[in-house]
Amino acid sequence: MSEQPKPAGGCGAALADDLGWALGVLLRAYSKAASTVLAAVPGGPRGYQVLTAVGRSDPRSQLELANQLGVDRTVMTYLLDDLERAGLIERRPDPADRRARRIVATPAGRELACSLTKRLNEAENHVLAGLPGQRDREMFRSLLERLASHVNTLDPVASACDLARETHGVVGTRG
């Protein structure tokens, strides 16, 4: 339809009007700020995710952890290697299954995760600085989280962050 080859617009949909564009810009800004904060952590953002995940609840196996964070279990090996070398986590034998390892955060790991979490909060605020009003911010967060959780239910993708994997496949659709 619309077979009008309009020079300056064709079918409309200017870039600034694009949802994906806006989301991308915003996420990119946040990621930039976040990865500055997380630059010091072995494994970067991923390493931080592991730290918070193991600090949050009982010891998990590597596989559990990998599934939860949406990374391949081979990647998890490298990730944990780095974190362990840095003294942030430990691999302990699982008394119930000698194949598995229980991953626990060391005191240093918990402490680091703690301080990073605070700094990430600042990064969030930086991104949200475009909405000076407190009410606008709350509104945005609220709407965003409604959308995110809805999407998440539609898309029962295990959990938080298959993000990486999925997006990769997606983008990899290159001809």
**145 close to 53: Cβ distance less than 8 angstroms:** no
63 versus 151: smaller Cβ distance to its own copies: 151
Q: Which two tokens stand for residue 85?
A: 């070398």
90 contributes a contact to its own copies by CB under 8 A: no
Cβ-Cβ contacts under 8 Å for 146 (sequence gap 6 or more): none
Measured in degrees and rounded to the nearest 5, phi and psi for residue 12 equal 75, -145
Rule CB under 7 A: which residues touch DNA? 44, 46, 61-64, 71-78, 80-81, 91, 94, 97-101, 164-165, 168, 171-174
Beta-bridge partner residues of 60: 103
131 contributes a contact to its own copies by CB under 8 A: yes
8 touches, from DNA, its own copies, none (C-beta below 5 to 8 Å by class): its own copies
Going by C-alpha positions, the residue among 39, 32, 48 that lies closest to residue 126 is: 32
91 versus 110: smaller Cβ distance to DNA: 91
149 touches, from DNA, its own copies, none (C-beta below 5 to 8 Å by class): its own copies
49 contributes a contact to its own copies by CB under 8 A: yes
